[in-house]
Amino acid sequence: MASPQPDQTRRAAILGGNRIPFARQFGPYAQASNQDMLTAAIEGLVARYNLGGQRLGEVVAGAVIKHSRDFNLTRESVLGSSLDPHTPAYDIQQACGTGLEAAILVSNKIKLGQAESGIAGGVDTSSDAPITVSEKLRTKLLKVNRAKGAGAQLKALGAIRPTDLGIETPANSEPRTGLSMGEHMAQTAKRWGITREAQDELAVASHRGLARSYDEGFQDDLVTSFKGLARDQNLRPDSSMEKLAKLKPAFGKGDDATMTAGNSTPLTDGASVVLLGSEEYAAEHGLTVQAYFVDGETAAVDYVHGEEGLLMAPAYAVPRLLARNGLTLQDFDYYEIHEAFAATVLSTLKAWEDEDFCKDKLGLDAPLGSIDRDKLNVNGSSLAAGHPFAATGGRIVAALAKMLHEKGPGSRGLISICAAGGQGVVAILEGA
Amino acid sequence: MAVETLTETPSLLPVFVKSALGGKKKGDSLPQTSYRLADQVVDRQHLQDYQRLCGFAADDTLPHTYPHILGFPLQMQLMSREDFPLPLVGLVHVENEITVRRRLTAEDVLDITVSAENLAPHPKGTTVQIVTVAEVSGEQVWEGRSTYLARGKGDPDAARGSMPDLPEVSPGQGAAIWSLPKDFGRQYAKISGDVNPIHMSGLTAKAMGFPAAIAHGMWTYARCVATLGPAASGPSSSHVWFKKPVLLPGKVELVVEPGDPTLLGLRKPVRSSADRVVEHLVLTVETR
């Protein structure tokens, strides 16, 4: 089936990015709200690319864990920034795929000529999390609120029992399975035979890559310090196999459990944004096109019935994206596979190498094959930087665009991000 | 002028008590001493508390009005000196000017100097200007000029500076309405250190001749500046004229000159044009 071609499309350019360093839960950003962090990330971008007073086409961002008061999170951040207040904004939420999905949406509007410029991003806090009362109490309190007259209200209040009291904080678990993301991943890791050693190796490489990128100054125009933090707090430049080997398994059961706190991402706080625009917009504003946002794809798997692992959807999204763009898995200079867990990356790579999986599950004639591991997460990924859910996409898009620009025109990068709910968001960027 | 360098921020409650108990002030000249606090490192928690209470973004930037807070204890120290010609208790903050020369962040280490200038007759008494200067490595980055009035025998012929009128905005057409709770004076006192009894409770305010506790003028000033967003934290200048105090608890209405967001006013919300208008302040802000 041929996809319908819009009458006319143009290229969407990535012009730069900005993020605040990611902080560990209850670290320096313990009291920073999503609003504070997203505004700071936008304001840093505005300062870096001289966007003060400019009316952009739109700003699209979101947070996975959100207070109900933040219903208009992104628009409020625009109003708190130096952007022209006539810049519209909206929120999206696609779990850990939020940031990359936002970039797909903005770039699509630019491609269609519906927008000249835009910002895509995301933010998440695991520290300043919303607290809700128990469902029973919530229902009864709403009843009190509805009751007319003091007598009726008192009666409704009287229905509240001591056992109704209690608070709930958002949990990193799947509503339908009750399993945490780590437990889900442990099942998948076991299925693909991912070893502890391979996971720890990936974690060490991530820390070393990110540390090197900071030392080389690569992050200088991608990160703006916030609340006294200048680098990602989770980064351990001296990470080693010996140190990681000492950690006890955190997810999975039994002697063969492999996933530890060292090869899983910790809960973190942070925000990131990316500036996108048409080539005309870039030229008018004297901005350098770093890369083009070529295409994006999403996929979802049925993890509820055990048919597939929770975080395996990108394994399905990538072949569809490759086919649509006439590319093979080997046609890339860089691969950015989000390290939700080291095992996620390794299971995905293993799946693409597996003949049965590629035939039976992906419906391909042959496996997608292996990738050159030297091209994978070159400047570190989420294991080192941390992973404030919705902020990861923006971090990756901005960094990859810069890497591709340095590599030169025509260079290619692949982004793969898994998300809760059995979803995956993937994209192709091309260097300019 | 002699400079007295303090090693720590003076505590303000004893200063107020001393002044309240102090004898009658005399003299018609200002102390030729300025007070200095060097190497002031911004306390990020304090900064964030201030930003939240005043409506600024909770980021690393020091708000337009923030260095005033750092210099305020020095102002009090200076005005409570025995050779300061006006009594500290009862002074009314009537005007304030601020110039931000560059955007300041929590990373900047500030040297704060406070001195007194321009003792002058006023139709309702005598005014003095307390000048607060913030420097970073010898570079003047911020200046505040606070004008205080000691009510008393005034000079009806004394010149008054020109004060702009509040923006003319019809009833119900204000830009924002803010509700201030009863304990708001205490909330701001906790952050600013300004524990003047007129802000602390109805009882203490009544003892000082006010019908109720009143909001700090510097909060009303800061809250209005905050509506201008990040621009007012960069190079900018502002001038506020405080008119009638805001009684607590209470509501205030922000009015902005149509087509000119740099002229702002704060008034008591009015329902109809027949209502008496209570004007709290008028403010001009220039950003660059």
Position B89 scores a pLDDT of 79
Residues of B with CB under 8 A from a CB of A: 44, 48, 57-60, 106-107, 229-231
Name the more confident of B177 and A149. Answer: B177
Instruction: List the single residue in B with minimal CA-CA distance to A78.
Output: B229
Whether pLDDT at B15 is above 80: no
Instruction: Match 């959807």 to its residue by tokens.
Output: A313
Model confidence band, residue B9 (pLDDT cutoffs 50, 70, 90): confident
CB contact (8 A) between residue B57 and residue A80? yes
Position B29 scores a pLDDT of 86
Min Cα–Cα distance to chain B from A136, Å: 32
Q: How far is CA A362 from CA A160, A313, A320, A358, B234, in A?
A: 53, 11, 9, 5, 55
CB contact (8 A) between residue A43 and residue B59? yes
Instruction: Tell me the mean pLDDT in the region B207-232.
Output: 94
Name the more confident of A204 and A160. Answer: A204
**Domains along chain B with CATH numbers:** 2-156+163-287 (3.10.129.10)
Cβ neighbours around B152 below 10 Å, total: 12
Model confidence band, residue A46 (pLDDT cutoffs 50, 70, 90): very high
Position A149 scores a pLDDT of 87
Position A363 scores a pLDDT of 96
Beta-carbon contacts of residue A321 (< 8 Å; ≥ 6 apart): A295, A296, A297, A426, A427, A428
pLDDT digits (tens, 9 = 90+) for B232-282: 999 999 999 999 999 999 999 999 998 888 999 999 998 888 888 899 999
Taking alpha carbons only, the member of A319, A341, A343, A340 closest to residue A414 is A319
Position A130 scores a pLDDT of 78
CB contact (8 A) between residue B230 and residue A228? no
CB contact (8 A) between residue A81 and residue B230? yes
> Which top CATH class is A181-217+294-431?
alpha beta
Chain B interface mutation, best of A18, A31, A38, A50, highest count of B Cβ atoms under 10 Å: A31
Position B155 scores a pLDDT of 83
Min Cα–Cα distance to chain B from A48, Å: 15
Position B21 scores a pLDDT of 66
CB contact (8 A) between residue A43 and residue B57? yes
pLDDT digits (tens, 9 = 90+) for A349-388: 999 999 999 999 999 999 999 999 999 999 999 999 999 9
Model confidence band, residue A81 (pLDDT cutoffs 50, 70, 90): very high
pLDDT digits (tens, 9 = 90+) for A300-337: 999 998 889 999 999 999 999 999 999 999 999 999 99
Whether pLDDT at A131 is above 90: no
Position B284 scores a pLDDT of 96
Whether pLDDT at A2 is above 60: no
Instruction: Tell me the mean pLDDT in the region A255-280.
Output: 94
Taking alpha carbons only, the member of A211, A131, A134, A216 closest to residue A406 is A216
| Chain A hits for B59, Cβ within 8 Å | 36, 39-40, 43, 226
d(CA A220, CA A110): 27
CB A95 within 8 A of CB A175: no
Position A60 scores a pLDDT of 98
Instruction: Tell me the mean pLDDT in the region B107-135.
Output: 94
CB contact (8 A) between residue A36 and residue B44? no
In percent, the amount of chain A with pLDDT more than 70 equals: 98
What angle, 0 to 180 degrees and rounded to 10, lies between the N-to-C axes of helices A181-191 and A342-353?
40
Position A259 scores a pLDDT of 94
Chain B interface mutation, best of A82, A87, A269, highest count of B Cβ atoms under 10 Å: A82
pLDDT digits (tens, 9 = 90+) for B39-53: 999 999 999 999 999
Position A174 scores a pLDDT of 85
Position A7 scores a pLDDT of 62
Model confidence band, residue A135 (pLDDT cutoffs 50, 70, 90): confident
In percent, the amount of chain B with pLDDT more than 70 equals: 97
For β-strands A334-337 and A412-419, DSSP reports them as parallel
Position B14 scores a pLDDT of 74
φ/ψ of residue B46, rounded to 5? -65, -45
Q: Which of B44, B57, B231 sits opposite A39 (nearest CB)?
A: B57
Q: Which of B57, B60, B230 sits opposite A227 (nearest CB)?
A: B60
| Chain B hits for A45, Cβ within 8 Å | none
Q: Which amino acid is at B133?
A: V
Model confidence band, residue B23 (pLDDT cutoffs 50, 70, 90): low
Position A129 scores a pLDDT of 80
In percent, the amount of chain A with pLDDT more than 90 equals: 82
What angle, 0 to 180 degrees and rounded to 10, lies between the N-to-C axes of helices A392-407 and A98-112?
60
Residues of chain A with CATH 3.40.47.10: 181-217+294-431
Q: Could you say which residues from 287 to 346 on chain A have a Cβ atom under 8 Å away from some Cβ of chain B?
A: none
A2-6, A123-127, B81-85: range with lowest mean pLDDT? A2-6
Would you please indicate which residues of A are annotated as catalytic (active-site) residues? 96, 387, 418
In chain B, % helix, strand, coil (3-state, to 5) comes to 25, 35, 40
Provide the 3-class DSSP secondary structure of residue A74: helix
Taking alpha carbons only, the member of A44, A48, A24, A25 closest to residue A36 is A44
Q: Which of A36, A81, A228 sits opposite B58 (nearest CB)?
A: A36
Instruction: Match 């020091």 to its residue by tokens.
Output: B62
Min Cα–Cα distance to chain A from B278, Å: 29
**E-strand stretches of A138-229:** 167-168
Beta-carbon contacts of residue A380 (< 8 Å; ≥ 6 apart): A205, A206, A207, A208, A209, A210, A211, A213, A235
Q: Which of A36, A43, A225 sits opposite B230 (nearest CB)?
A: A43
| Chain A hits for B228, Cβ within 8 Å | none
